[in-house]
Amino acid sequence: MNTLFFGTPLLAVPYLELLEKETDLKAVITTPDEPAGRGYERQESAVKQAALKLNKPVLQPADVKDPAFRDQLAGFSPDLAIVVAYGKILPLAVLETSKHGFLNVHFSLLPAYRGAAPIQHALIQGKSKTGVTLFWLDQGMDTGPICLQKSIQIDSDDNAETLRGKLVPLGVEALQSVLKDVQSGRINRRPQDGPASLAPTLTREDGRIDWSKPAQEIANRIRGTNPWPGSFTFVRAGDQSQRLKILAAKPVPGAAGSSVGAVASLESGKGFVVKCGQDSLQILLVQPEGKKPMPAWDYWQGKRITIGQILG
């Protein structure tokens, strides 16, 4: 079975490796090299680096609507194309180049969390269940018919990084099953069913903590924005305010008499407690501006904050 692979970041590499192992992978398509780092040198995507190690042709179209790119894909006579976090919307002319279509791996149970950040938004919304969906691309945003879904429970201590680490191999397992079905002539397509929700790209400001929110809601946001953009607050030191990232925290009963956003108490050996709009948040792991992550207890012992101090 002739296949094409579209992907860009590191999480897409296991899917590329599966296609290389189990199909006749004709080409790998990824985004153009982009400037990065202090020297702004152009860097190859993780998918490009993996493809070159496998001696596979790599295409990096600047414009996926270019007819020449469409013709190039058609020249591979693909039976199936797989898309994992490619980063660009593919036009209908491209989608028509594959015999069976373009199969996208999406990290939610569609139609929930359509968009670029499904893992993060599931955590931010406090969901206890998520999964992966393999669906056929159409002209909508994550609206195509479903081929296969697999679900898992979200653990209470999962953040975006740990949950991604569970969903990626789950998706590889699902894709392996689908490849066998397609090779046997079994093509599953069923319409998406149920209420849809969106998972737009996060911005840095999405990480800013609003202490007037309930403690559980803030804790969910901390999990969903870790490692990026990271949840943060500001700590005043003299005439300056310094950004403090909150990397891990857990809700605890409210601190009576404290103002919202105030450091209400101290938990010896663990960290400090901040009053929220409802209940409080025990801060466990932080990262001061310009520093490495550290236990909140160590941060407290540095005398950078005091009881009663207002954060934000």
Query: CA 290: distance to chain centroid?
Result: 24
Q: Could you write out the three-class secondary structure of 170-232? A: HHHHHHHHHHHHHHCCCCCCECCCCCCCECCCCCHHHHECCCCCEHHHHHHHHHHCCCCCCEE
The pLDDT of residue 5: 98
Domains, in order of start, for the chain: 2-183 (3.40.50.12230), 204-301 (3.10.25.10)
Residue 136 · residue 189 · CB < 8 Å? yes
d(CA 283, CA 25): 48
Tokens of 194: 């149920």
Residues in the chain predicted with pLDDT less than 50, given as ranges, are none
pLDDT in tens, 62-117: 999 999 999 999 999 999 999 999 999 999 999 999 999 999 999 999 999 999 99
pLDDT in tens, 12-30: 999 999 999 999 999 999 9
Query: How many angstroms separate the Cα of 240 from the Cα of each of 235, 243, 261, 274?
Result: 8, 10, 18, 20
Backbone phi, then psi, for 264, in 5-degree steps? Answer: -90, -35
d(CA 304, CA 242): 10
The pLDDT of residue 100: 97
The pLDDT of residue 37: 66
The pLDDT of residue 238: 73
Q: 3-state class of 76 per DSSP?
A: coil
Share of the chain above pLDDT 90, in %: 88
Residues 6+ apart with CB under 8 A from 51: 5, 16, 28, 30, 57, 58
d(CA 82, CA 15): 8
